[in-house]
Structure 1
Amino acid sequence: MNRKARVLLVVALVAVVAMAFRVSWNALRDVAEAIGADATAALLYPFVVDGLMALALVATLVLSGDDRRFALRVLAAYTLASLVLNYVHGLVPALHAAAAGRVRLAQWDAGNWVLVLLASSLPVGSIYFGSDLVAKVLHHRPAPADDLVCEQSGPESARTPYTPTHPAPAATSAVADTTAHLSMPGPSALLTSRTDAVQASDPHAPHTTRTPDIESGSEALRQAQFEEAELERMRQDARRAYAESAQAGRPLSARALGEAFSMSESWGRKQILAARDDDEAPRPVLRAVDTAAV
Structure 2
Amino acid sequence: MNRAGKTLLVLALVAVVAMAFRVSWNALRDVARVVGADATAATLYPFVVDGLMALALVATLVLTDARDKRFALRVLATYTLASLVLNYVHGLVPELHGRAVDWGRLADWDPANWALVLLATSLPVGSIYFGSDLVAKVLHHRPAAAREPVDGQRVDTPAPLPHTSLPDTGHEVPQVTAPPVSTLVNGRAAAVQVPDPHAPHPARTPDAESADDALRQAQFEEAELERMRQDARRAYAESAQAGRPLSARALGEAFGMSESWGRKQILAVRDEEETRPRLRALDAAAV
Is it true that 1:2 corresponds to 2:2 in the alignment? yes
* Residue matched to 1:106: 107
Question: Structure 2: which amino acid aligns with 1:47?
Answer: F
Alignment of 1:153-164 (within 5 A): none
1:79-94 alignment, distance < 5 Å: 79-94=80-95
**Structure 1 stretches of at least 4 aligned residues deviating more than 2 Å after TM superposition:** 98-101, 173-178, 229-235
Match of 1:122 in 2: 123
CA distance in 1 between counterparts of 2:104 and 2:56 reads 31
Q: Which structure 2 residues correspond to residues 128-139 of structure 1 after superposition, within 5 A? A: 128-139=129-140
The one-character-per-residue Cα deviations of 1:200-240 (angstroms, maximum 9, x if unpaired) are xxxxxxxxxxxxxxxxxxxxxxxxxxxxx9788439xxxxx
Distance change (3 Å), C-alpha of 1:56 and 1:92 = same
Query: What amino acid is the match of 1:31?
Result: V
Superposition pairs of residues 43-192 of structure 1, within 5 angstroms: 43-64=43-64, 65-97=66-98, 102-144=103-145, 171=189, 174-176=191-193
Which blocks of at least 5 consecutive residues in structure 2 are unaligned? 149-185, 196-215, 223-255, 259-287
The Cα shift of 1:69 comes to 0.5
Give 1:262-273 correspondences, 5 Å limit. Answer: none
1:234 matches 2:221: yes
Letter in 1 for 2:81: L
Instruction: Give yes or no for contact 2:104–2:117 (8 Å, CA) kept in 1.
Output: no
Give the match for residue 42 of structure 2. Answer: 42
TM-score, normalisation: structure 1: 0.51
**Alpha-carbon distance in 2 for matches of 1:119, 1:111:** 12
Question: Counterpart amino acid of 2:67?
Answer: D
Following the alignment from structure 1 to structure 2, what is the Cα–Cα distance between the partners of residues 38 and 46?
13
Q: Is the 8 A contact 1:95 1:103 kept in 2?
A: no
| Maintained 8 Å contact 1:33/1:39 | yes
Closer/same/farther in 2, CA of residues 98 and 116 from structure 1, 3 Å limit: closer
Q: Distance in 2 between matches of 1:67 and 1:230?
A: 41
Alignment of structure 1 residues 247-266 onto 2, 5 Å = none
Residue deviations 1:38-96, cap 9 Å, x none? 00000000000000000000000011211111000000000000000000000112202
User: What percentage of aligned pairs have identical amino acids?
Assistant: 73
Q: Deviations along 1:145-194, whole A, 9 cap, x unmatched?
A: 899xxxxxxxxxxxxxxxxxxxx9x95x944469xxxxxxxxxxxxxxxx
Q: Decide whether the 8 Å contact of 2:106 with 2:116 is kept in 1.
A: yes
Partner AA of 1:234 in structure 2: E
Aligned pairs, number:
166
Give 1 or 2 for the bigger CA radius of gyration: 1
Give 1:103 shift. 4.8
Shift of 1:102: 1.7
